[in-house]
Amino acid sequence: MAKKDFRLLLACENQKLQARIIQSLKATYSIAGARNSNDFFSKLRQKDYSLAIVDHHFGGQMEVEDLHHKIVRFCPNVVFVVYSEAEQKSISKKIQKYRAIDYILYSSKLIDFVEKIHKAVRWTILQSEVTGLGIKITQVAESIKTLSKKIEKVY
Range of the domain at 68: 3-130
- CATH number of the domain that 78 lies in? 3.40.50.2300
Q: Domain for residue 13, yes or no?
A: yes
Q: Domain for residue 62, yes or no?
A: yes
pLDDT tens, residue by residue, 33-87:
988 888 888 888 887 888 888 887 776 655 666 776 777 777 777 777 777 665 5
Q: Domain for residue 55, yes or no?
A: yes
Q: Domain for residue 86, yes or no?
A: yes
Rg (CA), the chain: 19
Count the domains in the chain. 1
Whether the CB-CB separation of 28 and 3 falls below 8 Å is answered with yes
Q: Domain for residue 153, yes or no?
A: no
Compute the distance between CA of residue 94 and CA of residue 67 in angstroms, rounded to an integer: 12
Whether the CB-CB separation of 54 and 95 falls below 8 Å is answered with no
Q: Domain for residue 52, yes or no?
A: yes
pLDDT tens, residue by residue, 97-129:
555 555 566 666 778 878 888 788 787 777 777
Q: Domain for residue 155, yes or no?
A: no
Q: Domain for residue 31, yes or no?
A: yes
Q: Is the model's pTM score more than 0.85?
A: no
